[in-house]
């Protein structure tokens, strides 16, 4: 008898991979916006790249299915904070054209 | 200013709880790992919802033509970015609270957040629809 016919660990791994891919697309969009805008844009672009790289490092182990299951991880808050960080860095990039 | 100090203290406490799994593990009993994984996938689904809102904001800023109302495009973009950031932060907080409830065998935390988010997105869509109609009818 299969103990877990729902294949929960595999589904969770795939969910992490989807999230990593989405994160990459969003970081790409933010970079595209940042790289049109001079020195400030370049600094913000570097920060976006750092956050994206940090998020990927944080989620890599979960996406590969390594490490313990359950709450024994800092990956979740790290990736969430990186996401919020990319959003907040993008706000001045959007408002740049207003002033 | 004791109030500001207290608020900063609370915020630090909450963030510490997100990053410190031993805090959650101290209460209750370890559940069937499938419940924890389901909770984790729910978090990831919320995170992707937040990422989609952020992507929408970034796309609006870069690919929308200027709208009839001055700076409406930028306002929509910033609103989507802030909404996305809120969704991401709320996702990790809700994950911690849910994990705690599962361990203690309590009711799962209830929240008005999904309803509020749905209303905000619907209102934003109607606003944009109005702007598009105004532009289409009065643009010539």
Whether A34 contacts chain B with CB within 8 A: no
Question: Does A1 score more than 50 pLDDT?
Answer: no
Distance in Å, alpha carbon of B9 to nearest chain A alpha carbon: 19
Question: Does B115 score more than 60 pLDDT?
Answer: yes
Specify if A84 maps to a domain.
yes
A5-9, A24-28, A44-48: least confident range: A5-9
pLDDT above 90 covers a percentage of chain A that reads 64
Question: Does A78 score more than 70 pLDDT?
Answer: yes
Q: Out of A74, A79, A88, whose CB is closest to B85?
A: A88
Higher pLDDT, residue A66 or A77: A77
Specify if A3 maps to a domain.
no
Write down the pLDDT at residue B139. Answer: 58
Q: What is the dihedral of CA B135, B124, B73, A29, to 10 degrees?
A: -130
Specify if A2 maps to a domain.
no
pLDDT above 70 covers a percentage of chain B that reads 97
A8 and B37: CB-CB below 8 Å? yes
List of residues 6+ apart from B18 with CB closer than 8 A: A76, A77, A80, B92, B93, B96
Whether B101 contacts chain A with CB within 8 A: no
Q: Based on the number of CB atoms within 10 Å of its own CB, is B12 exposed (0-12), middle (13-18) or buried (19 or more)?
A: exposed
Q: Do the beta carbons of residue B6 and residue B79 sit within 8 Å?
A: no
Written as six digits, the tokens of B1 are 């200013």
Q: Domain count for chain A, please give it.
A: 1
* Percentage helix, strand, coil for chain A under 3-state DSSP, each rounded to 5: 75, 0, 25
Q: Do the beta carbons of residue A67 and residue A60 sit within 8 Å?
A: no
* Residue-wise pLDDT tens digits, B10-30: 888 888 888 887 777 788 888
Write down the pLDDT at residue A65. Answer: 84
Q: Which domain holds residue A50?
A: 10-95
Indicate the DSSP class of residue A28: H
Phi first, then psi, for residue B83 (nearest 5°) are -65, -45
Q: What is the pLDDT averaged over residues A29-45?
A: 90
Specify if A79 maps to a domain.
yes
**Cβ neighbours of B55 in A, within 8 Å:** 22, 25-26, 29
Kindly calculate the radius of gyration of chain A based on its CA atoms and give it in whole angstroms. Answer: 17
Q: What is the pLDDT averaged over residues A34-56?
A: 92
Kindly calculate the radius of gyration of chain B based on its CA atoms and give it in whole angstroms. Answer: 20
């Amino acid at each position: 008898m299969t103990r877990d016919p729902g294949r929960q660990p595999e589904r969770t791994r795939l969910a992490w991979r989807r999230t990593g891919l989405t994160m990459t697309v969003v970081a790409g969009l933010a970079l595209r916006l940042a790289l049109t805008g001079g020195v400030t844009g370049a600094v913000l672009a570097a920060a976006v790249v750092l956050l994206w790289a940090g998020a990927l490092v944080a989620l890599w182990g979960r996406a590969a299915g390594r490490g313990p299951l359950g709450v024994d991880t800092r990956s979740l808050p790290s990736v969430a904070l990186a996401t919020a960080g990319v959003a907040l860095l993008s706000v001045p990039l959007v408002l740049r054209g207003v002033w | 200013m004791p109030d500001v100090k207290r608020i900063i203290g609370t915020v630090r406490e909450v963030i510490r709880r997100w990053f410190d799994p031993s805090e959650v593990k101290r209460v209750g009993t370890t559940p069937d790992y499938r419940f924890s994984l389901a909770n984790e996938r729910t978090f990831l689904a919320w995170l992707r919802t937040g990422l989609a809102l952020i992507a929408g904001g970034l796309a609006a800023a870069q690919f929308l033509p200027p709208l009839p109302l001055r700076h409406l495009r930028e306002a929509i973009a910033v609103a989507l970015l802030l909404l996305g950031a809120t969704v991401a932060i709320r996702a990790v907080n809700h994950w911690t609270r849910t994990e705690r409830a599962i361990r203690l065998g309590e009711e799962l935390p209830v929240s008005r957040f999904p309803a509020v988010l749905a209303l905000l997105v619907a209102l934003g869509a109607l606003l944009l629809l109005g702007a598009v109609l105004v532009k289409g009818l009065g643009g010539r």
